[in-house]
Amino acid sequence: MIPVRRALPEDAEELLRLRQVMIDSLAGADTSDTWHAESLPTLRGRLADPRETLAAFVVDRPGRPGALAALVVGTVEYRIGRAGNPHGRIGYVFSVATDPDARRRGYARACMEALVEWFREQGVAQVDLTTSPDAEPLYASLGFARKPDPFMRLTF
């Protein structure tokens, strides 16, 4: 069994590092890491707040104290209820990353299973995520199904 744990405030720098690994793998992404210093205090605060709707689950890097091998991060959001989700609680997964030399060991799967269980404990009725073609088989094996989504974004 792969040991997965909930991320702590002291893991924040490693979470940002692994998020950058994920960002760097996306075609056309801005791969600058200059935002890390500005993001760090906010992330630490959110990881420290027991009422927080953000959760990160991680696998520690074997043989490297303080380093992480993999992470998943998600949030619980509220939408006005509807049939099938009368309480309007929706989970959203927005960061899944494994160090390149630690891949194919089940770390991301173990972290995702922990996050999905946390979503269940939070009363979430659906979990959404965006995936790359390479990661789609992992999510499909966990029960996720592709949806036609007219997703749009406004950036300020």
Q: Where are the domains of the chain?
A: 5-141
Q: Estimate to the nearest angstrom the gap between the alpha carbon of 80 and the chain centroid.
A: 23
Which pLDDT tens digit goes with each residue over 87-109? 999 999 999 999 999 999 999 99
Which pLDDT tens digit goes with each residue over 128-147? 998 888 889 999 999 999 88
Return the axis-axis angle of helices 12-24 and 36-48, rounded to nearest 10°.
130
Identify the sign of the CA torsion 14, 20, 23, 27: negative
Query: Of 71, 91, 60, 74, which Cα lies nearest the Cα of 16?
Result: 71
- Predicted model pTM: 0.91
Q: What are phi and psi of 36, to 5 degrees?
A: -55, -50
Which pLDDT tens digit goes with each residue over 11-42? 999 999 999 999 988 867 777 888 999 999 99
DSSP string, 50-62: TT-SEEEEEEEPT
What CATH number belongs to 5-141? 3.40.630.30
What pLDDT, on a 0 to 100 scale, did the predictor assign at position 132?
Answer: 84
